[in-house]
Structure 1
Amino acid sequence: MRKIAFVFPGQGAQYVGMGKEFVENFKIANDVFEKASNSLGYDMKKLCFEGPEEELKKTENTQPAILTASIASYEVLKEHGIEPKIVAGLSLGEFSALVASKVMAFEDAVRVVKARGKYMQEEVPIGVGTMAAFIGLDREKVIEACNRASEFGVVEPANFNSPIQIVISGEVKAVEKAVKIGKELGAKKAKILKVSAPFHSSMLYGAGEKLAKELHKIELNDFIYPVVANVTADYYDSISSVNELLVRQVSNSVLWEDSVRKMILDGVNTFVEVGPGKALSGFIKRISRDVQILNVEDMTSLEKALKALA
């Protein structure tokens, strides 16, 4: 028996041209982009299809752009009769999952994530914070590296992506020290990432507080699909917990590996990455070799997925 989970990408998945093929081929995808443009007051198609890349890379533009491309892909899949049993998303992708589950109206979500991106970017001045990725170092040793480097400033695990990839976040000097310690502890690779802020660290606590005010302005509805939350790696138990968990997510670790394991434990045997990029597909492949992994972001990947799911 096939049990499908839809998973939605986070920041970093963006590229110029995302969503274009679906908009050209499906009215439903075009409608999603039109709604985004109307909600935000600028041309989302122009931003996603033409860039420039520098503009698309700005956090407050990236977040609503990825959400839009992801929900356009989701609507196309639904129009083809493919629906999930469970949904989840990495960081920003959790908003896409909540939109797919009808908890949040898409128009509200694009406005909220634009503000979220702005608050996250503004919270820490450029050059003060950074992030780094460890490859091939288990979580206990990554945590040890962070603990040992913390005398140099804030440094914390940010994303537990897969058994072999963990990302840390914090103040530049402390992150650099943790990278050095991580290499000594046996990391195959440890490198500073090109990011504009120390995402998912306690340094962004204030951004979460500002996000809370935005979230309180919007109406939430009951879930049509169960949604796995990043900070608990478990299902939301009620809509009353949505705002709190989304706020906590800004300054806490994203438990992606644990979230995927939870879904597999509950019988998910097919994951469809819905939206730009294949980063989540790569993580899931590292977590389990026993599940089917597909992605849907353009006409070629859609046809391949529909054939596999037929």
Structure 2
Amino acid sequence: MKKTAVIFPGQGAQHIGMGQELAEKYPEAKKVFEMADHALGEHFSEMIFNGEEAILKRTENTQPALLTASLAAWKVLESQGVKASYTAGHSLGEYSALTASGTLSFTETVQVVRKRGQFMEEAVPEGKGTMAAILGLDRDKLEKVTKQASEEAGVVEPANFNCPGQIVISGSVEGVNRAVELAKEAGARRAMLLQVSGPFHSSLMQPAAEKMKPELAHMDVNGQSMQVIANVTGRPVTKENVTKALTEQISSPVLWEDTIRYLLDQGVDTFIEAGPGKVLSGLVKKVSRQAVTLPVYDKETLEKAVEHLKEEEK
């Protein structure tokens, strides 16, 4: 029997107008955007649909906006009879996964991820931290590179294990720059700085993690309709350790490749990417070419995914 997982994108997938077509054509999506407006006490959906890119790119806006657009896509899929056994999200997307599974409520979560964005922005002064993508270097070699760079220049650590041959590093500007040099010397195919506002998923984010602890502790945690795979372990998260997983996630690496491999080992062969873009679908394909990936971000992709899933059931 075929098994399906729904996966949710993280920061970087956002763009003005995301989710707008779904909100205009499907009441389930429209309701999610209206709930975000109400929860945040502003015309938040208007900023997402017609605002300025620079304002959307602020982490405090990006994070709740992506959560809203992603959950809107999933709610429409659900209304079309789509079900999944597992769910996972990349970084911020883990909140989307927990909300889609019913573990967290959307109203509480959209408020909390706004604070998460604020805390992450405040953790490291602007211009002091950065990230870089390293292509074509395995984990062991890269961990040696980051260790040497940290000793020589400043904090730098692996941040996202995305797929074979693609790892993102994070830390101080000096540490990341030195690691980029060392990675090239060690045989990396490419090593390039990313346009980000901070050193996410590194130990420099610990102040944000500490601020998030009490926020997460106050959230209602419910049972799950789908098994949720945590970023920090690449394994299922239980109701009892949701808060711990989300706290650690801020300053720990995202084990995305491990997450996808775990899902494949459970027999998952179809991955629905609910939310803007198709970056995660590409990463899944790099782990397994046999996996079916169905990105859903507008009416056309939604109809295509639903049709495919119905054909598989026959």
How high is the TM-score relative to the length of structure 1?
Answer: 0.99
Report matched runs for 1:1-310 at 5 Å: 1-151=1-151, 152-236=153-237, 238-310=238-310
State the distance in 2 between where 1:211 and 1:51 align.
28
- What SS does the aligned partner of 2:268 have? coil
State the distance in 2 between where 1:218 and 1:246 align.
12
Q: Percent identity?
A: 50
State the distance in 2 between where 1:164 and 1:76 align.
34
Q: How many residues align?
A: 309
Provide the aligned C-alpha RMSD in A. Answer: 0.7
AA matched with 1:108: E
How high is the TM-score relative to the length of structure 2?
Answer: 0.97
- After superposition, the C-alpha distances for 1:21-45 in whole angstroms (9 at most, x for unaligned) are 1110011111100000000011122
State the distance in 1 between where 2:264 and 2:43 align.
39
AA matched with 2:297: E
1:193 Cα offset (Å): 0.6
1:144 Cα offset (Å): 1.2
State the distance in 2 between where 1:51 and 1:201 align.
31
1:137 Cα offset (Å): 1.1
- What SS does the aligned partner of 1:199 have? coil
Q: Is the 8 A contact 2:64 2:114 kept in 1?
A: yes
1:307 Cα offset (Å): 1.8
- What SS does the aligned partner of 2:250 have? helix
State the distance in 2 between where 1:42 and 1:187 align.
46
1:116 Cα offset (Å): 0.2
State the distance in 1 between where 2:250 and 2:26 align.
34
State the distance in 2 between where 1:204 and 1:131 align.
13
1:51 Cα offset (Å): 1.9
Q: Is the 8 A contact 2:36 2:45 kept in 1?
A: no
State the distance in 1 between where 2:49 and 2:180 align.
36
Q: Is the 8 A contact 2:209 2:251 kept in 1?
A: yes
State the distance in 1 between where 2:144 and 2:65 align.
36
Q: Is the 8 A contact 1:164 1:286 kept in 2?
A: no
**Which runs of 5 or more residues in structure 1 are unaligned?**
none
State the distance in 1 between where 2:184 and 2:51 align.
37
AA matched with 1:261: R
AA matched with 1:103: T
- After superposition, the C-alpha distances for 1:64-93 in whole angstroms (9 at most, x for unaligned) are 000000000000000000011100000000
- After superposition, the C-alpha distances for 1:274-303 in whole angstroms (9 at most, x for unaligned) are 001111011111010111011101011111
1:206 Cα offset (Å): 1.0
State the distance in 2 between where 1:218 and 1:306 align.
33
Q: Is the 8 A contact 1:199 1:251 kept in 2?
A: yes
